[in-house]
Amino acid sequence: MTQTFESDRAWTLLRQARAYLTGHFALTTGRHSDQFFLLARLTERPDWLYPWAKELAGRLTPYRPAIVVGPAMGGIIPAFAVAAQWPGTRMLFAEKEGGAMRFKRGFQIEPGEPVIVVEDAVTTGGSVAQVIEAVEGLGGQVRAVGALVDRSQGSLAFSAPFEAVLRAPNIPAWEPHECPLCRQGVPLTRPKQ
């Protein structure tokens, strides 16, 4: 694992919060893995989330946004916590609708307004890419992307710089038909249900 954000402390907090699990999991992307980040367990404790948000905001400060956007559901609380580090910064969230991310609830982004997208964990970056598209569709300018955990294996290609508090590039994610745990008959779990 890459050493960032006092890596030992980060892993300790994840385990303590039961936000890092081992087993056989169906990821949101449809892939399978033997490790899962259930970061809702970390975000339920503001005292545990605060150092992560402060660290991520510090890394994103050079891109100073007017708005921080998080994809629903997992990105809402981290985006809020990061936005709170910069007084006067707005926080919005995008929601899935018709296979794409959309802004509802009267949320507005002005043309040219600087935006940072914040997610809890990134594997393929699909949700983030959809949020970037939604922001740009309203004329906003995505200056950077941030995540609490990057488990992408370095395969992300965002149109903006990417920062993560903890990088975990060696965690496997298999297509279901390639999953060795399925072949072994290990029961599949969906921790977000």
**Residues whose CB is less than 8 angstroms from the CB of residue 169 and which lie 6 or more positions away in sequence, other chains included:** 1, 2, 150, 151, 152, 153, 154
125 is in an annotated binding site: yes
pLDDT at 1: 39
98 is in an annotated binding site: no
The CATH class of the 7-183 domain is alpha beta
48 contacts 77 by C-beta, under 8 angstroms: no
121 is in an annotated binding site: yes
93 is in an annotated binding site: no
Looking only at the bridges linking them, the beta strands covering 90-97 and 100-102 are antiparallel
pLDDT at 124: 84
pLDDT at 44: 93
pLDDT at 174: 93
pTM of the predicted model as reported, rounded to 2 decimal places? 0.89
96 is in an annotated binding site: yes
123 is in an annotated binding site: yes
104 is in an annotated binding site: no
Residue among 68, 161, 79, 166 at smallest CA distance from 119: 79
pLDDT at 2: 43
pLDDT at 5: 59
pLDDT digits (tens, 9 = 90+) for 34-60: 999 999 999 999 998 999 999 999 999
119 is in an annotated binding site: yes
Under-70 pLDDT residues of the chain: 1-5
